[in-house]
Amino acid sequence: MGEFFSFLQNNLADFWSYTGFYNASPGHIAMLVIGIVFIYLAIAKEFEPMLLIPIGFGILIGNIPFNMEAGLKVGIYEEGSVLNILYQGVTSGWYPPLIFLGIGAMTDFSALISNPKLMLIGAAAQFGIFGAYMIALALGFDPMQAAAIGIIGGADGPTAIFLSSKLAPNLMGAIAVSAYSYMALVPVIQPPIMRLLTTKKERLIRMKAPRAVSHTEKVIFPIVGLLLTTFLVPSGLPLLGMLFFGNLLKESGVTRRLAETARGPLIDTITILLGVTVGASTQASEFITWDSIKIFILGALSFVIATTSGVIFVKLFNLVLKKEDKINPLIGNSGVSAVPDSARISQIVGLEYDPTNYLLMHAMGPNVAGVIGSAVAAGILLGFLI
Amino acid sequence: MTRNKIGIFLSLLLAIGLCSCHGSTDRSNTKLIINEVLIENQGNYQDDYGLHSGWIEIFNKSYSSADLAGCYLKVSSTPGDTVSYFIPKGDILTSIKPRQHALFWADGTPRHGTFHTNFVLSKDKENWIGLFDSGRKLLDQVVVPAGILQANQSYARISDASSEWEVKDDSAEKYVTPSTNNKTIDSNPKMDKFEQHDPVGIGMAISAMSVVFVGLILLYICFRLIGKLSVKLRKQNAMKAHNITDKQEAKEKKLGEAPGEVIAAITMALHEARGADHDVEETILTISRVKRSYSPWSSKIYTLRETPNRK
């Protein structure tokens, strides 16, 4: 009988060594708290809920403590585990292009086609990426890490994940979380900079109404866009190819079902998988470090630089434009490709100064140009550093 | 004027295309190449039987797998006397992974396995070695000049897939590398270059931003021209529809320049006209709270979130 109780005791002790309570460390607890904070921000404050909920819950999933040496094949870094298989989409970099397919299928490029000079604002805002790159180098990151961090300034989550998975996989969790956090904070970061850099007169500029764009132009755009950008930067092909392909599905008018799938079920599925696995990949040992803190600071700076450069570029551009073609500098911020949040900020700030001046459609031009610009910038960084 | 601009733009694109194509004509599309050859093996790499024989290293320079099954390795040290080795099919080891190597023993004993050829390399004469695909199309060839190699020295490309060859003598800089990279990659040259020449990052910023601007300026020029062409075509169609041939008259009447309000009014009228086809029926209006699933990804309107408020 005593032997039997001893067996039971050993069995329970063995079981106890497998539990999360036994294996928990302060790092695990800290990460779980971070995950819960993300979920709170998503639900209570509605900060990017579509992404912060999967990422926040992913952080919980990825930081449940367990006996790593037991070979349970449950951890995201254990080969053959379910999470590891789902994580392949991130490490191999095929989730972000699929997200871009959906983005292409839901994006209307009319504003850009009708006023193509707005593309240059999208290009100017990419200074955020390279400003952050330079600061990251100064903080001691190597060029590949600095480039992966700099791409946060592109304000494009999938692009940030795509590039960091190639250039600095160990920083990917912090970079992805930082990128999405600041995209959620666009309404907080951008307006003060926009007000600071513009005069009242500039904020009241009324832009010419965009002309109607024909169906043919809309069909030509993704084809020419793909050819021009990828001939120049072939390393951006996965992102740009899928973006323009998705847009052609939308604009062709004959593949409605495919476009609906790309911008609906497909992008939703990939968003869920991407969010959860990126969240689960943030382990305390990698995430709670000084580097992560630096990445968060650099992320904020990159958004500030991107917004500043966009607004200043419009002001400079206005110097060479005719009076009737002048651009309201309040749409300069929308070169930051957080679609459509930054365009919406242009609209809101513009309405504060003139309740009848609607800037949304004008701001959508640089906004979608920013998507193209950040994908091109990611391709350039890949081409330069790999 | 517009035609001229389009012509200039297309010519520029064509010129850029032709210039870039010119550089790529010399490039071979072959995945498999001969990478290194060792003729006299006295104390170098040994095979599974513990024997030292000459060897030929094949390199898959592509980023996808390449299969050697069915290919031919041919050797000739005397003109008109070529020995051919058919690489057997059915051995999964003949599939070479991306950027990896396969080593063939030139020991004249094919019964030792797939990677043992039916020929030996001549120590005294010049050796011509050719790799042919299953359709007997030449993939790559190399001539190892007579007398340049001593025992345990190899004739190899300076680095994997480079076009220049050198004698590897097992010194610190030039070492014999059977089944591995001809030059050990222990650094990232691109990154080192940036670390050395551009520690601040200004060079990267300037060059990358230039490319971003060039890309988007090209798109801008292209769509400016397409836009002008589109407007012109629209005006021409409107002139045809109104039977007007005089451009001045068309301009005065603003043909093809329907403002947004007019388009909206026409659309509304069409909508109403279609709606009018439907019979007016007795209806009961029930007002209930509309519940829609929150889906910002699939609707632009839903993506327009409110400014975060402290609750």
DSSP track, A184-242:
HTHHHHHHHHHHHH--HHHHTPPPPPPPP--HHHHHHHHHHHHHHHHHH-GGGHHHHHH
**Tell me, what's the pLDDT at B262?**
77
**Tell me, what's the pLDDT at B24?**
42
The answer to which of A153-157, A162-166, B19-23, B155-159 has the lowest mean pLDDT is: B19-23
pTM (two decimals): 0.78
Of all residues in chain B, the one with the smallest CA distance to A115 is B224
Band (pLDDT 50/70/90 cuts) for residue A133 is very high
**Tell me, what's the pLDDT at A89?**
92
Average pLDDT, chain A: 90
Q: In angstroms, rounded to a whole number, what is the distance separating the alpha carbons of residues A259 and A253? A: 9
DSSP track, chain B:
-HHHHHHHHHHHHHHHHHHHHHHHTT----SEEEEEEE---SSS---TTS---EEEEEEE-SSS-EE-TT-EEEEEEETTEEEEEEPPSS-GGGEEPTT-EEEEEEBS-GGG-TTB-S-B--SSS-EEEEEE-TT--EEEEEEE-TT---TT-EEEESSTT-S-EEEE-SSSSS---TTS-SS---S-HHHHHHHHH-SSSHHHHHHHHHHHHHHHHHHHHHHHHHHHHHHHHHHHHHHHHTT---HHHHHHTTTT---HHHHHHHHHHHHHHHHHTSPP---------------GGG-HHHH-PPPP---
Of all residues in chain B, the one with the smallest CA distance to A122 is B216
Interface test with B, best of A47, A53, A113 (most B CBs within 10 A): A113
Interface test with A, best of B223, B262, B267 (most A CBs within 10 A): B223
Band (pLDDT 50/70/90 cuts) for residue A289 is confident
ipTM given for this complex? 0.86
Whether residues B204 and A144 touch (CB distance < 8 A) is answered with: no
Band (pLDDT 50/70/90 cuts) for residue A311 is very high
- Residues of chain A in contact with residue B226, where contact means CB-CB under 8 angstroms, are 113, 217, 220, 224
Q: Note whether B98 contacts A: Cβ–Cβ < 8 A.
A: no
**Per residue in A185-238, pLDDT tens?**
888 899 999 999 999 999 999 998 888 888 999 999 999 999 999 998 898 899
Partnered with residue A166 across adjacent β-strands are: none
**Tell me, what's the pLDDT at A309?**
94
Sheet holding B101-106, edge to edge: B101-106, B54-60, B32-38, B154-157, B165-168
In terms of Cα–Cα distance, which of B247, B212, B130 is closest to A335? B212
**Tell me, what's the pLDDT at B289?**
67
**Tell me, what's the pLDDT at B261?**
73
pLDDT tens digits in sequence order for chain B, 311 residues long: 556 666 666 666 666 665 555 444 444 558 899 999 999 998 888 898 999 999 999 999 998 899 999 999 999 988 778 899 999 998 999 999 999 999 999 999 999 999 999 999 998 889 999 999 988 899 999 999 988 888 889 999 998 989 999 999 878 788 899 989 988 777 777 788 888 888 889 999 999 999 999 999 999 999 999 988 988 888 888 888 888 888 787 777 777 676 667 777 887 888 777 765 555 567 777 777 666 555 555 555 555 556 666 76
Q: In angstroms, rounded to a whole number, what is the distance separating the alpha carbons of residues A108 and A119? A: 14
Interface test with A, best of B219, B229, B307, B311 (most A CBs within 10 A): B219
Q: Note whether B296 contacts A: Cβ–Cβ < 8 A.
A: yes
Q: Note whether B195 contacts A: Cβ–Cβ < 8 A.
A: yes
Q: How far is A31 from chain B (nearest CA, A)?
A: 25
In terms of Cα–Cα distance, which of A257, A262, A261 is closest to A242? A262
Q: In angstroms, rounded to a whole number, what is the distance separating the alpha carbons of residues A48 and A53? A: 8
Partnered with residue B129 across adjacent β-strands are: B75, B142
The answer to whether A279 and A59 have CB atoms below 8 angstroms apart is yes
**Tell me, what's the pLDDT at B142?**
94
Residue A102 has its nearest CB partner, among B199, B297, B308, at B297
**Per residue in A93-115, pLDDT tens?**
899 999 999 999 998 888 889 98
Whether residues B200 and A232 touch (CB distance < 8 A) is answered with: no
Partnered with residue B37 across adjacent β-strands are: B56, B155
**Tell me, what's the pLDDT at B25?**
40
Whether residues A369 and B195 touch (CB distance < 8 A) is answered with: no
Domain ranges of chain A: 88-385
Q: Note whether B266 contacts A: Cβ–Cβ < 8 A.
A: no
